[in-house]
Structure 1
Amino acid sequence: MHDIAIKIALIGAAGIAAQWLAWRLQLPAIVLLLIAGFIAGPATGFITPAADFGEIYRPLVSLAVAIILFEGGLSLNFREIRETSKAVRRIIILAGPMVWAMTAVSAHVIGGLSWPTAIVLGAVLVVTGPTVIIPLLRQAQLNSRPASILRWEAIVNDPIGALFAVLSFEVILVVFGRHQVDNLLALVTIGMVIAVGGGLAAAKAIEWAFARGHVPEYLKAPVLFASVLGAYALTNLALEEAGLLTVTIMGVALANTRITSLTDMRRFKETITTLLVSGVFIILTASLTPADIVSLDWRAALFVASLLVVIRPVAIMIATIGAGLTMQERLLTAWIAPRGVVAVAVSGLFGTLLLDAGVEDAGRMTAFAFAVVVTTIVLHGFTLGPLAAFLKLKQDSKPGILIVGGSRWSTTLARKLKEIEVPVMLADPNWNHLTEARLASIPVYFGEVLSEQAHHAIDPKRFANLIAASDNEAYNALVCTDFGPELGRSNVFQIGRSEDTGRQSINFTLGGRPLALPGAGFHELRERLLSGWTFQITRLTDEFNWDTYQQTRADNAMIMFWIKPSGAIIFASVSGSKPQANDRVLSFALPRDEARIEAIRAANAAGGIAGTSEAHGPADPNLSSTTASDRDSNR
């Protein structure tokens, strides 16, 4: 018992360590999970899942896969698929069966597998695992359309591939005389009706219960979690593995409801899914035996090559003719199709069932599936980013800033950021507040930034930081609280907030970090701008360093952030370090006192200190003088 506890703890620790290293080293997380599982299993023999966990091994893996698919379904909103729905439909309806048929032929002719094993393997390899695609998309920063296609295909195809495998297996049993044809048709029909109807009914029941207040807030996530497991298990009683379709439909249906607390539950499910993906992938990799590895010969290698460079590209290129995609998007989709947890889990399940049915080489199916999984994870994991960049399907890798609040101060800041080529967007629900920004060709979002529509229209991955700068401090805090989990709480900032922790201050768990120290509120920033303050950008050098730079600033100058040569943005209010040479410092202050700077240069001349390299636009004359009505304006 203690040994099992240690092994479970090791699996959890290794999984999260692999995820952290992947984030730190900017590597595909699945590759590191694969290495961890190989070391824990085939290399050392420390973990042997089938022996360690016994009869509960397969059911636990299946339940984990069900939760992963449900969480994936929660990320599929119909608004996102509007411009890619035709392509996704064709990939699933046309390309899926083509991949199944061609893979089965290749597995038999090239791989040397028997027809029963080849047909089931072809069905299994239709899937393009979300457990692999989603982490890859998180790191690759693709444009929204190709990312949407790959994500939708991966999540929808997983249960469909499992159902193809079920159908293949049942047909094989009919051929072997184990089942009757009429029984098979009835079984599949009933199973599909229960799977689809059950998923929709479960989602509707949850929506009704949550909307009517029949479930308290603290129980919503646990109730959802238990409902997924129950729906999966009950559907499987009618048709093996049809539960995967049930939970996927359930997730998609819930994602398109108006449950107000769904966002919080989705974050909970994402946490659970990260743990499950890490643990399940290590367990499945560890289950691979040395005998399985030895069974992979040159014919298996040729089979994998045919799947990657012939079968998938041909199926996708045919299916997407006239689907409204560019050639670059079709090429990327044709190449990227990594397999993951579901392929290994389902192949292991049906390999065992086929062995029981008398198919002698069924045990090789798991080894072939694992060869495909390993190859696609490594190749696609390391080529997605470079290929997307080559095909110009990658988002701007520079971290940008989303500014909420279209005041004159915000617009002036956005104009300066655009001038120095920092990606920026200005968001405000008042169209008039965005007039100056639109005239300056600054990207804008007109609407409520807290709305569901905004979360689909504004890609959080493009903006590494947020500045809430409206004239309502409570609203600024709400915006930062809402975007904190997506961008990271250390990357959301608001004006007017200080580090004061007195009785009147907002709790540190709410709102954002102060934009600058000392903090200045909306009206103070507006008055400073109207009195001639400007945004100034200064590049530091080895000679004109941070200490010298500070001497040239007025005492009340606001140092906001500095930009590293890599493009990373470091905010002064939260950084414990100093800007270095080649960093560009952005400040908000009165125009420079040139006489004072010359005096400092002269005083330091004996030490060899050179001049500055500073660039800033002159103060807008329209902003330096105002009328009484301007000063009374909320803007």
Structure 2
Amino acid sequence: MIDSLLFHFMFIIFLGIASQWVAWRFKLPAIVLMSIAGLIVGPFLGFVNPKEEFGDLFKPLVSMAVAIILFEGSLNLDYQEVRGLGKPVVRIITLGAFIAWILGSLAAHFVAGLSWAVAFVIGGLFIVTGPTVILPLLRQARLKPRPAAILKWEGIIVDPFGALLAVFSFEFIKFLVLAEVKLEALLWFFLASLLAVILGWACGRGTGWMLQKGHVPEFLKFPVVFTVVLACFAIADELKHETGLLAVTAMGITLANMHISSINDLRHFKENISLLLISTIFIMLTASLTMETLLEILNFRIIAFVVLMLFIVRPLSIWISTVKTDLSKQEKTLVGWIAPRGIVALTVSSYFAAVLLEEGFEDASILTSLTFALVFATVVAHGFSISWLAKKLGLAIDQPPGVLIVGGDSFSTQLGKAFLELETPVLIADSSFQRLSSVRNAGIPYFRGEVLSEQTKYHLEWTPYEYMIAATKLDSYNALVCTTFIPEFGRNNLFQLNIRSKQEADVDDLYHTIGGQYLFKEGVTWEELNKRVEDGDVIKKTTITSEYTYENYVTESHEKTLFLFIKKPSGKLQFYTNEEDPKAEPGDIIASLTRPK
């Protein structure tokens, strides 16, 4: 075995990202694969043990990573997104969390056999779900906006509160049980929590003001924000353990609701950092477990507790807290089932296991096993079931991947009609009502508005659309649209029409660096496409079979036939571009712009 800290650190990062890639490639829950990978290289094979190898750095590294992940997640908590969901969300993160704490504590005492003191500490911690596990599941499941927003808000808001609730329970228990602990210690906890919120708000406002006024140069924006986040977390955590998570959440929400363009630009980079940290930290935590901890999971009391948390505590807390809200039974069922625990639960429970044992609570020795049993069970159960359950309840986007076309004109209208006839979801967006007239007359779904506007983000439902085509008359605007939406759609799913001239040096440089993939044949521009449609050309759709092959189709096609795209039986689309010339297989449908017969 290679005895190198640098090599082991590289190996952990590689394993985390490899797990993410395999999960994407085979459509599996990434969290499950990361957990299994960590267990294999850690307790099973003994190849790495991050807790021992990193020593005193292990806990600070994990804590800072959790703070960054939580901050990045809270940057997505814009109040405009929660319009119409205010009552259910508030109920779930307050009354629902309180019910889950009480029921979880009762289960820990009567089923897991923990003392009342330890049971209430761990019951408070187990209300958390958190962005480290919720956000990957939401990316995987393609939920409709309402249930997705509820799960996201709950995960990010309750995450720091769960840790704080565990701290509060611990402080309260020490006040009741230990004679040397006075009321002042309990009051200091509440004061420190309030100071953490104020600190987070102040850091958010101050950072936002500096970015708005141009006091931070472009190349320093991310380093400044990153440094302030870590400082905010560290200062609050020094005041009182675990209040740092509350501070960075408050900072993230403050910045998100200032609607600063710089933050939108930085958010995508921070998402990549967050993904890297989630992958690395989850591998580190699972690889640090011991075989004794894993074997202890087989204890009947622990198994019974996990089953109770899955099937009784979580569903009951959601159904009771959402009484007389506008959530449907299907939404309550899905939200009541999905509650995976993750990094925060694992890290904070190990902290409390140590301090409770120091205070003489011997039953706290099983907390690590109990927590990992719940984390692994919820990650596996919810990771594999969320897509299936969402489809059964009608809360998943079950249509084939759709196409969002930017720009209303003759060619866009014909292309939109072709997608509709192939039962592919399509939407044509344009800021001009006049340019959308032919789209409206053809009965194609449309959106009037500027796709680059901040407000469009909240008024347009993006989830059904996996592909975007920028097809306006302005080449520069098409490139800008594609470049802006790279984080949302991915470069492989962004397309634009060919630019009019790539001969000038400045345009040729841009051609290779910005924008989306150039559609169809090289040199086929907006003018040519619209002229052909206005002259009577139509979009023809042909099914390729084993008898009528792609080669037959190409041979029989008119010399001016322009191949547009191929629709696979799965609903996936393959577009013809300047660089890609896909070949249709039996069962595929090929669409082309050609002369009418």
TM tier, shorter chain? over 0.9
1:332-347 equivalence runs, <5 A: 332-347=334-349
CA distance in 2, matches of 1:440, 1:201: 52
* Deviation, structure 1 residue 545: 1.2
The structural deviation recorded for 1:521 is 2.0
Amino acid at match of 2:566: W
How many Å separate the matches in 2 of 1:179 and 1:439?
79
Q: Please tell me whether the aligned partners of residues 502 and 511 of structure 2 are also in contact (alpha carbons under 8 angstroms).
A: no
Name the structure 2 match of 1:524. 528
**CA distance in 1: counterparts of 2:288 and 2:116, whole angstroms:** 25
Q: CA deviation at 1:498?
A: 7.8
1:590 corresponds to: 595
Q: What's the CA shift for 1:499?
A: 10
Alignment of 1:23-34 (within 5 A): 23-34=24-35
Partner of 1:487: 489
| Cα offsets for 1:240-265 (capped at 9, x unmatched) | 10110110111111111121121221
- Determine what percentage of the aligned residue pairs are the same residue: 43
Paired residue type of 1:434: L
- Alpha-carbon deviation of 1:576? 4.7
The one of 346, 363, 366 aligned to 1:364? 366
Does the 8 A contact of 1:498 with 1:518 survive in 2? no
Aligned 1:51-62 pairs, distance under 5 A: 51-62=52-63
- Residue 432 of structure 1 and its aligned partner are, at CA, apart by 2.1
Which structure: larger Rg? Answer: 1
- Provide the secondary structure at the position in 2 that maps to 1:452: coil
Provide Cα deviations, 1:565-609, integer angstroms capped at 9, x if missing partner. 1111001214354111111111112113xxxxxxxxxxxxxxxxx
Name the counterpart of 2:353: 351
1:50 is aligned with what amino acid? K
> Quick one: distance in 2 between partners of 1:589 and 1:502?
31
Offset at residue 500 of structure 1 (A): 5.0
Cα distance in 2 for partners of 1:569, 1:502 equals 33
SS at match of 2:54: helix
Q: Could you tell me which residue of structure 1 aligns to residue 332 of structure 2?
A: 330
Taking the aligned partners of 2:423 and 2:446, their CA distance within structure 1 comes to 16
Cα shift at 1:130: 1.5
Shift in alpha-carbon separation, 1:509–1:460, aligned structure 2, 3 A: farther
- 2-structure distance, mates of 1:499, 1:305: 64
Matched residue, 1:289: 290
Do structure 1's residue 106 and structure 2's residue 110 form an aligned pair?
Answer: no
Distance 1:575 1:178, change over 3 A: farther
Tell me, yes or no, if the aligned pair for 2:144 and 2:463 is still in contact at 8 Å.
Answer: no
Tell me the equivalent position of 1:37.
38
Query: 2:544–2:550: 8 Å Cα contact kept in structure 1?
Result: yes
C-alpha deviation, 1:2, in angstroms: 5.8
For residues 391 and 125 of structure 1, the distance between their equivalents in structure 2, rounded to whole angstroms, comes to 26
Whether contact under 8 Å (1:497, 1:513) holds in the other structure is: no
Instruction: Tell me, yes or no, if the aligned pair for 1:190 and 1:238 is still in contact at 8 Å.
Output: no
Report if aligned partners of 2:546, 2:586 keep a CA contact under 8 Å in 1: yes
Counterpart residue type for residue 265 of structure 2: D
Partner in structure 1 of residue 128 of structure 2: 127
**DSSP-derived class of the 1:430 partner:** coil
Whole-angstrom CA distance in 1 between matches of 2:362 and 2:384: 36
How big is the shift at 1:460?
4.1
1:478-509 superposed Cα distances (whole Å, 9 cap, x missing partner): 11111122211122111133895762433312
Residue 236 of structure 1: how far off its partner (Å): 1.1
Could you say which residue in structure 1 is the equivalent of 2:145? Answer: 144
Task: Tell me how far 1:463 sits from its aligned partner.
Answer: 1.5
Long gaps (5+) in structure 2: none
Question: 1:76: how far off?
Answer: 1.4
1:388 aligns with 2:390: yes
**Residue identity matched to 1:547:** E
Would the aligned equivalents of 1:199 and 1:248 in 2 still touch at CA under 8 Å? Answer: yes
How far did 1:238 drift?
1.6
User: Take 1:360 and 1:490, find their aligned partners in 2: how far apart are those partners?
Assistant: 56
Equivalent residues in 2 for 1:587-626, closer than 5 Å:
587-592=592-597
Contact 1:460–1:486 (CA under 8 A) maintained in structure 2: no
Q: Which residue is 1:613 aligned to?
A: none
1:139 and 1:263 map into 2 onto residues whose CA distance is 23
Question: In 2 relative to 1, CA 515–118 (structure 1 residues): closer, same or farther, beyond 3 Å?
Answer: same
Q: For each residue in 1:267-287, what CA deviation from the matched residue of structure 2 results, as whole angstroms up to 9, or x when unmatched?
A: 111111111101111111112
2:583 partner SS: coil
Matches within 5 A, 1:561-572: 561-572=565-576
Deviating more after overlay: 275-284 vs 171-180: 171-180
Aligned counterpart, 2:263: 262
Give the partner amino acid of 1:191: A
Q: In the aligned structure 1, how far is the partner of 2:97 from the partner of 2:83?
A: 21
| Residue aligned with 2:565, SS | strand
Whether 1:578 aligns to 2:583 is yes
Code of the residue aligned with 2:541 in structure 1: it is I
Alignment of 1:447-462 (within 5 A): 447-462=449-464
SS in 2 for 1:580: coil
Partner SS, residue 523 of structure 2: coil
- Residue identity opposite 1:360 in structure 2: E
Shift of 1:68: 0.7
Report the counterpart of residue 612 of structure 1 in structure 2.
none
SS in 1 for 2:405: strand
Are the equivalent residues in 1 in contact too, given 2:482–2:516 (CA < 8 A)? Answer: yes
Deviation (angstroms), 1:204: 0.4
**What does 1:152-551 correspond to in 2, within 5 Å?**
152-177=153-178, 180-296=181-297, 297-497=299-499, 503=505, 504-505=507-508, 506-551=510-555
The residue aligned with 1:616 is none
Normalised TM-score (structure 2): 0.96
Check conservation: 2:130, 2:344, Cα contact below 8 A.
yes
Report the residue type matching 2:222 in the other structure: A
Q: Could you say if the C-alpha distance between residues 451 and 2 of structure 1 is closer, same or farther in structure 2, counting changes exceeding 3 Å?
A: farther
Work out the CA distance in 1 between the residues paired with 2:72 and 2:453: 21
Q: Please say which of residues 247-256 and 457-466 is displaced more in the overlay.
A: 457-466
Shift of 1:443: 1.9
Shift of the alpha carbon at 1:29? 0.2
Could you tell me how far apart the structure 1 residues matched to 2:497 and 2:561 are? 15
The amino acid of 1:551's aligned partner reads T
Query: Contact (CA 8 Å) 1:498, 1:517: kept in 2 or not?
Result: no
What whole-Å deviation, never above 9, does each CA across 1:162-191 have from its counterpart, x for those lacking one?
Answer: 100110111122123265443134312321
Q: Which amino acid aligns with 1:254?
A: L
Give the 3-state SS of the residue equivalent to 1:13 in structure 2.
helix
* Structure 1, unpaired ranges of 5+: 593-635
For residues 186-216 of structure 1, what are the alpha-carbon distances to aligned partners after superposition, in whole Å with 9 as ceiling and x for unaligned? 3123212211111111110011101111111
The AA in structure 2 aligned to 1:78 is: Y
